[in-house]
Amino acid sequence: MQRAIVIGAGVGGMAAAIRLAVSGFDVVVYESNPEPGGKLTHFTQQGFQFDAGPSLFTQPHILEELFVLAGERMSDYLQYDSVPYACHYFYEDGTDIRASADPVLLAAELEAKTGEPPEHVQRYLKESAQLYQTVGTIFLDHSLHKPATFSKVPWLKLAGTLRRSHLFGTMHERNARSFRSEKIVQLFNRFATYNGSTPYRAPGMLTLIPHLEHNEGVFYPHGGMISITRALYQLAIRKGVQFCFNQPVSRIIHTRNGVEGVVVNGVNQPAHVVVSNADAYFTYKHLLQDERKAQKIGRQERSSSAMVFYWGIGKEFPQLDLHNIFFAKDYAAEFDHLFRLKKIYQDPTVYVNITSKCEPGIQAPAGMENWFVMVNAPAVTNQDWESYRAIYRRAILDKLSRLLGQSIEPLIRTEAVLDPLAIAAKTSSFRGALYGTSSNSKLAAFLRHPNFAAQIPGLYFVGGTVHPGGGIPLCLRSAAIAAGMIIQQKGRRKHA
């Protein structure tokens, strides 16, 4: 039996481990932390439950495919519900938009609140769906670094879908051409943050992202996002995957012929295949000791990071939903600070996730709410993060108090903070970037590290810093791409 070693028990690492175990590999996962999940972790504080990382659950069918592949019913491990409202948006002039996950209802809401003709919204979401179905599914489910992928693209159908602004314009330019209302342009611009980028530089092709929420829907996993981590871990254990926690890999062993294993606690652990779920930069810099390759990756612009405040709030706010966005007045200035100036913006857009909306009395004490409060932050350079924490906190409290009509600070019963320095330290994310490299160029997708090491046979990559990108669905896809290559190579060896 061939042995596969996976470095890191994040979503991508566990999904790859499951796929390889089902295909007959002996799989061992080495994780430096005491628990699985990577960025998708959880903690409890004074009776409040907090998901520490990703808070949005879309495309559950991708997760379900993994369970089907393993011969299991996902409902035995994880249950979820659809959420009627994808997000609740708040603007400085008092306008609020409850964005339905149903495109027809969304168009009606946007017309009522902004006067935007509903056919504009419906046409935009139809184009978003067509982009996703013609080009998105091809490039997200296959390697961009394999010529065979491009033979799968339905070029004639794609030609009827693409607009010049998809290829040569920015996301903002495409949105500005699609809508009259600046509020709606801002609403759809914010989807650039799904991969840590700015809509004012990210390619227009990224307008396929809204399809995920407003055509396919938004969902909530029972028990919170940590339930996804637990389900993957339980499935992996059931399929025979061995986990070694608190055991960081110090080096990947390889020769001119390919990978031979890893070093853990000074002991060589042999393997036919190694899959790195670690940040691609750190994999090269520390595990492969390839400074040249690490510097090449490091020179690419980083995605944004985040500042997160976990607040236990001693009151319920009926006007809030599971997902809420309080927009900056000047969105362009905010992104200019994040990516050009690389410093704090005094009026940040604020995201508030409240899982107690879906499970009151479970995710928070009765009559209270658990607030996951996040603002976009620049990747780490030489900023004064201690000072930034205080500035961000004050700016967030002022905005929320102003737009909700009540002072928030006196309602805080418990608090924890996660800043980019902590993200970098806890998850080995280079400069605290949530998604590795940004997507602020037309070639960004092609410059993102592939799911394999071209110069080291047997070494593969999964997770948010490699193709196709960050977020739960894309990390699961990276595992499918990498595992597919490994299994295909195994079959070739078997018949050689």
Q: What is the DSSP string of 244-286?
A: ETT--EEEEEEETTEEEEEEETTEEEE-SEEEE-S-HHHIIII
Model pLDDT, residue 347: 97
Strands (E), 193-349: 218-221, 242-244, 249-255, 258-264, 267-270, 273-276, 305-313, 323-326
Distance CA 326, CA 150 (A): 40
Residue 473 in tokens: 């669905």
Q: Please choose, from the candidates 437, 490, 201, 432, the residue with its C-alpha nearest in 3D space to the C-alpha of residue 332.
A: 201
**Unique residue bearing structure tokens 């796929």:** 19
**Residue 18 CA: distances (Å) to CA of 11, 26, 201, 215, 461:** 11, 10, 37, 29, 15
**Unique residue bearing structure tokens 């080495």:** 30
Q: In what order do the strands lie in the sheet with 249-255?
A: 249-255, 258-264, 267-270
CB 19: neighbour CB atoms within 10 A?
26
**Enclosing H/E stretch for 401:** helix 385-404
Kindly calculate the radius of gyration of the chain based on its CA atoms and give it in whole angstroms: 22
Model pLDDT, residue 159: 64
Domain regions of the chain by residue span: 102-216
> Average pLDDT by consecutive 10-residue portion of the chain (496 residues)?
97 98 98 96 98 96 98 98 97 98 96 98 95 85 82 68 76 96 98 96 95 97 98 98 98 96 98 98 97 96 97 98 98 98 96 98 98 98 96 98 98 98 94 95 87 96 95 96 92 56
Per-residue model confidence as pLDDT tens digits over 335-379: 999 999 999 999 999 999 999 999 999 999 999 999 999 999 999
CB of 248 within 8 A of CB of 265? no
Distance CA 456, CA 363 (A): 46
Model pLDDT, residue 62: 97
**Cα dihedral 359, 81, 482, 5 sign:** positive
Q: Length of the chain, please?
A: 496
Residue 36, preceding peptide bond in cis (omega within 30° of 0)? no
Q: In what order do the strands lie in the sheet with 26-30?
A: 242-244, 26-30, 3-7, 273-276, 459-461
Model pLDDT, residue 496: 47
pTM equals: 0.95
Strand, coil or helix: what is 218? strand
Q: Please choose, from the candidates 121, 72, 75, the residue with its C-alpha nearest in 3D space to the C-alpha of residue 100.
A: 121
Model pLDDT, residue 141: 87
Distance of CA 475 to the CA centre of its chain: 8
